């Protein structure tokens, strides 16, 4: 059988030949590509020549090209247009691909050659970009445990295995607690709830065969219930059940699981030569140190707390007017805050939507990219993987830049959420490759398709990531596009959201589907005001969680995470009617895997930067200031991971980011 996945693609722009690719091609292609990749790596490892940058580091970059190409297609299809066959391939190959990667990182002969190049680096006269990829390659192997010997290597393997098991267990316990709790609601108890909440609890009752409406702990049920249920005792009961997830004793209790995870992470960091897990984790981030993270969070904490306390007083007044005495409690906040929102910031989504047509919002995102970076977009007629996916050629001054694929509509075969990926990343070594960049969203179809304001922001957000990929201009794929620190990667995307809010952009592109009239200014103002409503509460519950996460991973691990959590929150003076957004026993970000452990802060870190970066445009002369746009491209969008994120940001802005713009944006400035 000829397998198109393993051929050279003689297609326009080297796009995958989707009209010829079948699901049956994937498994044999991935198998063959893994074998080929390992053989290529082995040739480098056993090379009798002394190790050099070219024969070892660049040599490694030549390996695995077939696997990259096949997986570039497969992962995109598995996420955007899944089938049973594709899910089966995913299940079969996830462990195989993990073992493949472990075999490369565990190749001692290979690591020894990398180590020799690393030790000789000062004498090699490398370009800055080459020096950077050498450092990243070496660091990647060291962090994976390649330098460990004998008993240490065995212990590391044991720790990794145990951490994987504990992470899964933490998530499953949480799921079990959410699934097992329900509270039957009488018809009387539905009184005062809006229709959509009543529908949700009736649907939950039906789904669970309860013979009547039930309250569950699914976020989409419990949060609206707490917002709208006028029965205070019932709110308290529901809230207590919700915050007790993972903390109910018995087999699903997560408290001991969390303690063991923290202990093992600490041991793992120390085996690798770090003081503690936070130092290990933050080494690769823009923040770099726990002190930098804490410094930033504390600058936001005090103003947020002050706002939250002011808001609490207003909400307590409303509660008194309801005839309830005593202090405002955590189960009261959402209820009185929702009542206040309806009165002061009401937004009519139904009136707003006709102004946000998908087609016009795509045009708006393209138009901003044209004004800022000179990019032009031309529809391409090429075979893709699904009828809803569309492609454009991206050019500048007539020169090819990239292929952009937009796949905007929800369907059953698509994973939920929105994301940006590539089928091919930009690089110049070993050959020049223009990127193929994909944006996937889950918008509702319609004629015309209309977006909510959040949808429109999502479209701009993902397009910001796409620009980071398309404008990338580096030699090596390893540092191309979005291959940057986790606390830096959301800067281009969150920054691009700001252009949606530029009045002249909405004036031109947010036009009514029927009348063609631009969105009225009062409507825009309302949209923007609603976006910052209740930010004191939201910031406080988030920052409290981020600071607890940080404290858990600094220094010796706590024997009892719950008492450490209490200590941190007491020191902070958490307002009494607010709790952590995610308390320890259900803090899935931190305990189900390593992605956000000691890294929950990064959402806010990115927001500080995007606010600060957009302010640079406003200070310079407006959203389309040519000089700032040129700097943004030169130092951030084209630079990928070619330098440390703090260095790149400082080149762009002239200084490190400050929190003032974020406080203003969240309505928290004094």
Measuring CA to CA, how many Å separate 547 from each of 277, 488, 543, 544?
15, 19, 6, 5
CB of 490 to Zn ion, least distance (A): 5
What is the spatial distance between Cα 597 and Cα 669, in angstroms, rounded to a whole number?
29
**Residue 117 · residue 55 · CB < 8 Å:** no
CB of 419 to Zn ion, least distance (A): 8
Which of these segments, 26-34, 157-165, 300-308, 485-493, binds Zn ion (CB under 5 A)?
485-493
**CB closer to Zn ion, 352 vs 489:** 489
- How many of the chain's residues bind Zn ion (CB under 5 A)? 2
**CB closer to Zn ion, 311 vs 490:** 490
CB of 402 to Zn ion, least distance (A): 18
**CB closer to Zn ion, 50 vs 417:** 417
Cα Rg, the chain, nearest whole Å: 26
545 binds Zn ion (CB under 5 A): no
**Residue 624 · residue 371 · CB < 8 Å:** yes
357 binds Zn ion (CB under 5 A): no
**CB closer to Zn ion, 480 vs 606:** 606
Find where tokens 């858990």 sit: 552
CB of 280 to Zn ion, least distance (A): 24
DSSP 163-194: HHHHHHHHHHHHHHHHHH-EEE--TGGGTT--
SS (H, E, C) 389-422: CEEEEEEECCEEEEEEEEEEECCCCCCCCCEEEE
CB of 488 to Zn ion, least distance (A): 12
439 binds Zn ion (CB under 5 A): no
CA nearest neighbour of 301 among 16, 542, 120, 467: 542
**CB closer to Zn ion, 357 vs 439:** 439
256: tokens are: 């001991």
Measuring CA to CA, how many Å separate 585 from each of 45, 217, 258, 562?
45, 15, 7, 9
Q: Is 115 one of the annotated active-site residues of the chain?
A: no
CB of 216 to Zn ion, least distance (A): 29
**Residue 575 · residue 308 · CB < 8 Å:** yes
Please list the helix, strand and coil fractions of the chain in percent, rounded to the nearest 5, in that order: 60, 5, 30
Residue with the closest Cβ to Zn ion?
Answer: 493
**CB closer to Zn ion, 246 vs 464:** 464
Those residues whose C-beta lies under 8 Å from the C-beta of residue 50, and which sit 6 or more positions away, are 116
427: tokens are: 């690089």
**CB closer to Zn ion, 493 vs 511:** 493
What is the spatial distance between Cα 384 and Cα 390, in angstroms, rounded to a whole number?
8
What is the spatial distance between Cα 464 and Cα 369, in angstroms, rounded to a whole number?
9
**CB closer to Zn ion, 178 vs 490:** 490
Which of these segments, 91-99, 232-240, 492-500, 523-531, binds Zn ion (CB under 5 A)?
492-500
CB of 115 to Zn ion, least distance (A): 35
**CB closer to Zn ion, 216 vs 482:** 482
CB of 461 to Zn ion, least distance (A): 6
Which position among 40, 393, 462, 633 bears the catalytic label? 462
How many Cα neighbours within 13 Å face the side chain of 38? 16
C-alpha 498, offset from chain centre = 18
127: buried, middle or exposed (CB in 10 Å: 19+, 13-18, 0-12)?
exposed
CA nearest neighbour of 314 among 285, 292, 343: 343
The strand ranges marked E within 397-504 are 399-409, 419-424, 436-443
Q: Which of 493, 511, 598, 638 binds Zn ion (CB under 5 A)?
A: 493
Would you give the DSSP letter of residue 397? Answer: T
CB of 669 to Zn ion, least distance (A): 25
Return residues touching Zn ion (CB under 5 A): 490, 493
Q: What is the set of active-site residues?
A: 462
């Amino acid at each position: 059988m000829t397998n198109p996945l393993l051929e050279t693609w003689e297609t326009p722009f080297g796009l995958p030949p989707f009209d010829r690719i079948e699901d049956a091609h994937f498994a044999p292609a991935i198998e063959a590509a893994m074998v080929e990749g390992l053989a290529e790596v082995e040739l480098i490892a056993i090379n009798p020549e002394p190790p050099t940058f070219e024969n070892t580091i660049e040599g490694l970059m030549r390996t695995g090209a077939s696997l990259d190409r096949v997986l570039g297609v497969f992962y995109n299809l598995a996420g955007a247009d899944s089938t049973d066959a594709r899910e089966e391939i995913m299940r079969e190959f996830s462990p195989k691909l993990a073992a493949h990667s472990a075999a490369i990182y565990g190749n001692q002969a290979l690591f020894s050659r990398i180590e020799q190049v690393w030790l000789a680096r000062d004498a090699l006269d490398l370009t800055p970009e080459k020096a950077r990829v050498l450092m990243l390659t070496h660091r990647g192997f060291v962090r994976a445990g390649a330098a460990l010997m004998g008993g240490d290597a065995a212990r590391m393997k044991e720790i990794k295995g145990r951490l994987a098991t504990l992470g899964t267990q933490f998530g499953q316990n949480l799921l079990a607690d959410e699934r097992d709790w329900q509270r039957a609601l009488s018809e009387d108890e539905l009184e005062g709830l809006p229709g959509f909440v009543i529908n949700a609890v009736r649907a939950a009752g039906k789904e669970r065969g309860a013979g009547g409406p039930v309250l569950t702990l699914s976020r989409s049920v419990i949060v609206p219930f707490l917002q709208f249920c006028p029965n205070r005792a019932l709110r308290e009961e529901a809230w207590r059940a919700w915050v007790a997830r993972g903390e109910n004793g018995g087999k699903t209790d997560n408290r001991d699981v969390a303690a063991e995870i923290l202990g093992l992470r600490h041991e793992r960091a120390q085996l690798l030569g770090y003081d503690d897990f936070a130092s290990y984790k933050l080494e690769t981030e823009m923040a770099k140190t726990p002190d930098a993270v804490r410094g930033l969070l504390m600058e936001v904490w005090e103003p947020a707390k002050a706002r939250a306390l002011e808001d609490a007083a207003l909400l307590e007044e409303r509660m008194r007017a309801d005839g309830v005495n005593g202090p405002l409690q955590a189960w009261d906040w959402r209820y009185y805050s929702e009542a206040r929102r309806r009165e002061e910031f009401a937004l009519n989504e139904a009136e707003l939507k006709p102004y946000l047509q998908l087609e016009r919002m795509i045009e708006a995102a393209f138009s901003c990219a044209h004004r800022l970076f000179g990019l032009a977009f031309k529809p391409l007629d090429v075979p893709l993987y699904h009828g809803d996916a569309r492609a454009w050629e991206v050019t500048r001054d007539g020169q090819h830049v990239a292929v952009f694929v937009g796949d905007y509509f929800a369907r059953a075969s698509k994973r939920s959420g929105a994301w940006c990926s590539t089928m091919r990343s930009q690089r110049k070594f070993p050959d020049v490759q223009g990127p193929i960049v994909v944006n996937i969203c889950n918008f509702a179809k319609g004629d015309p398709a209309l977006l909510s304001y959040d949808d429109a922001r999502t479209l701009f957000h993902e397009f910001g990531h796409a620009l980071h990929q398309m404008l990338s201009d580096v030699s090596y794929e390893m540092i191309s596009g979005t291959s940057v620190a986790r606390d830096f990667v959301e800067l281009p995307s969150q920054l691009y959201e700001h252009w949606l809010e530029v009045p002249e952009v909405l004036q031109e592109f947010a036009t009514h589907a029927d009348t063609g009239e631009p969105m009225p200014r009062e409507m825009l103002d309302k949209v923007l005001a609603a976006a910052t409503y209740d930010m004191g509460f939201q910031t406080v519950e988030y920052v409290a969680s981020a600071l607890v996460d940080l404290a858990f991973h600094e220094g010796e691990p706590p024997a009892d995470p719950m008492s450490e959590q209490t200590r941190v929150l007491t020191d902070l003076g958490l307002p009494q009617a607010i709790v952590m957004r995610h308390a320890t026993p259900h803090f899935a970000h931190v305990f189900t895997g390593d992605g956000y452990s000691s890294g929950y802060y990064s959402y806010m870190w990115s927001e500080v930067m995007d606010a600060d970066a957009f302010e640079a445009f406003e200070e310079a002369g407006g959203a389309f200031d040519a000089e700032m746009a040129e700097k943004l491209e030169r130092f951030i969008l084209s630079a990928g991971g070619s330098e440390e994120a703090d260095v790149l940001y400082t080149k762009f802005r002239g200084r490190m980011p400050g929190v003032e713009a974020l406080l203003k944006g969240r309505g928290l400035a004094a």
